[in-house]
């Protein structure tokens, strides 16, 4: 029986299993070799977004953004900072709602940037509007119970 936490590779979509004790050891995807939780914000496509939000055992915070949105672009470095602070226990990713409007519709996004926190197929919380890194980090820690 396979054990460990399920983490969808945000590059290729393969579901990997990582023992909890190895989360901080720089685990890589068994298929493509990408780091699974290195604190880098990755751009998702709709298929990987759907898989990761349904499957992942560690929290995934998704930034629904668009290139035309000034506040979204302003928040990007803050979002990256929060991703670094929350690695390896949680992951942050983004999806371009201009390229993928159906995704915004499916998740009922009314304004961007919008942040939604997912874990094991559940939505743990929403955060609307551009936020500083500390606020993003605190939101994930509180909503998903991620310790420092």
The reply on whether position 38 binds Zn ion by CB under 5 A is no
The reply on whether position 86 binds Zn ion by CB under 5 A is no
CB–CB of 9/29 below 8 Å?
A: yes
The answer for residues whose C-beta is within 8 angstroms of residue 41's C-beta and 6 or more apart is 63, 76, 79, 80, 83, 92, 93, 94
- d(Cα 48, Cα 44) in Å, to the nearest integer? 6
Q: Which is nearer to Zn ion, 12 or 138 (CB)?
A: 12
Instruction: Please state the closest distance from residue 73 (CB atom) to Zn ion, in A.
Output: 27
3-state secondary structure (DSSP) of residue 104 = helix
Q: Which is nearer to Zn ion, 52 or 92 (CB)?
A: 52
Of the residues 25, 32, 128, 134, which one makes contact with Zn ion according to CB under 5 A: 32
Stretch that binds Zn ion, among 31-39, 66-74, 87-95, 123-131 (CB under 5 A): 31-39
79 Ramachandran zone, left/alpha/beta (phi>0; psi -120 to 50): alpha
Of the residues 4, 5, 12, 38, which one makes contact with Zn ion according to CB under 5 A: 12
The reply on whether position 10 binds Zn ion by CB under 5 A is no
CB–CB of 23/59 below 8 Å?
A: no
* 35: DSSP letter: B
The reply on whether position 31 binds Zn ion by CB under 5 A is yes
Instruction: Please state the closest distance from residue 34 (CB atom) to Zn ion, in A.
Output: 5
Q: Which is nearer to Zn ion, 31 or 98 (CB)?
A: 31
The token pair at 38 is 């290195």
Residues that bind Zn ion (CB under 5 A): 9, 11-12, 14, 29, 31-32, 34
């Amino acid at each position: 029986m396979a054990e460990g936490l399920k983490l969808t590779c945000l590059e290729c979509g393969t579901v990997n299993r990582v023992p909890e004790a190895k989360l901080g050891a720089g685990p890589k995807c068994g298929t493509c070799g990408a780091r699974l939780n290195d604190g880098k914000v990755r751009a998702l496509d709709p298929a990987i977004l759907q898989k990761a939000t349904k499957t992942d055992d560690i929290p995934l915070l998704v930034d629904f953004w668009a290139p035309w949105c000034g506040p979204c672009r302003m928040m990007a470095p803050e979002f990256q900072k929060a991703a670094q602070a929350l690695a390896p226990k949680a992951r942050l990713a983004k999806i371009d709602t201009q390229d993928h409007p159906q995704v915004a519709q499916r998740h009922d996004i009314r304004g961007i940037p919008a942040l939604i926190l997912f874990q094991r197929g559940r939505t743990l919380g929403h955060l609307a509007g551009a936020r500083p890194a500390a606020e993003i980090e605190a939101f994930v820690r509180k909503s998903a119970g991620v310790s420092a």
